[in-house]
Structure 1
Amino acid sequence: MPITCFIRYQIDPFQREAFSTYAEAWGHIIPRCGGQLIGYFLPHEGSNDVAWGLIGFDDLAAYERYRATLRQDPEGRANFQRAQRERFILREERSWLEDVAGTRDQPRQVAP
């Protein structure tokens, strides 16, 4: 059963660029460690202190393998430590979502 880890971040709106750099680093760390990075998202309009990250896995076993690999990844650990040191993430919440069959990774269709 495919699952998605939905991460909601409350960020310091005055450190938006720091969070952006943090998120960009995950762009190659997460896939290397076994996760399917769906994306990180910064606020655009409305609330200026909420960002999101979505990471997909084939199942919970794949997530557990990812976690074990990530713990051993020097770049991943350094990215976590940077976030703690610079304190641009004020709060983080994780939710686990079951993917609805036939809705994920669908190609864009051009209207005729």
Structure 2
Amino acid sequence: MSLTCFIRYQIDPFQRAAFQRYAEAWGRIIPRCGGNLLGYFLPHEGTNDIAWGLIGFDDLAAYERYRAVLRQDAEGRANFELAQTQRFILREERTWLDDVASTLNQPRQVRP
């Protein structure tokens, strides 16, 4: 993995459960379509209307293949339609990040 798509969502805080179901569906869809799902994250404390999703790809060509497969995925299309119909996502921003490979998945160090 060398690229991460960082998605920032502004959500309707009164529809948090709907966004959670949406994110859980992506947990099935994204890996099936070829993306490396790093996770979705809901607000816990503080700001109550910002959520994140992170998806990794080997390169932009892998992302383009993923997008082509995703367009054909019935559950993926239904999940997009759910979000549009229920309007729990108010705004979505995408940022592409280069991974710093030496920092990924570092084990936690336990001190005695």
Matches within 5 A, 1:20-59: 20-59=20-59
SS at match of 2:101: coil
Instruction: Say what the alpha-carbon RMSD is for the aligned residues.
Output: 1.2
Q: CA deviation at 1:109?
A: 4.2
Matches within 5 A, 1:9-28: 9-28=9-28
Unaligned runs of 5+ in 1: none
TM-score between both structures, scaled by the size of structure 1: 0.95
Q: In structure 2, how many angstroms separate the alpha carbons of the residues matched to 1:109 and 1:32?
A: 33
Unaligned runs of 5+ in 2: none
Structure 1 range deviating more: 45-54 or 96-105: 96-105
Q: In structure 1, how many angstroms separate the alpha carbons of the residues matched to 2:68 and 2:105?
A: 26
**Percent identity between the two aligned chains:** 80
Q: In structure 1, how many angstroms separate the alpha carbons of the residues matched to 2:111 and 2:82?
A: 44
Matches within 5 A, 1:1-112: 2-112=2-112
Gap change, CA 1:32 and 1:109, over 3 Å in 2: farther
Per-residue CA deviation, residues 55-95 of structure 1 (Å, 9 max, x unaligned), is 00011111010000000000000000000000000000000
Q: In structure 1, how many angstroms separate the alpha carbons of the residues matched to 2:111 and 2:32?
A: 35
Q: In structure 1, how many angstroms separate the alpha carbons of the residues matched to 2:57 and 2:109?
A: 25
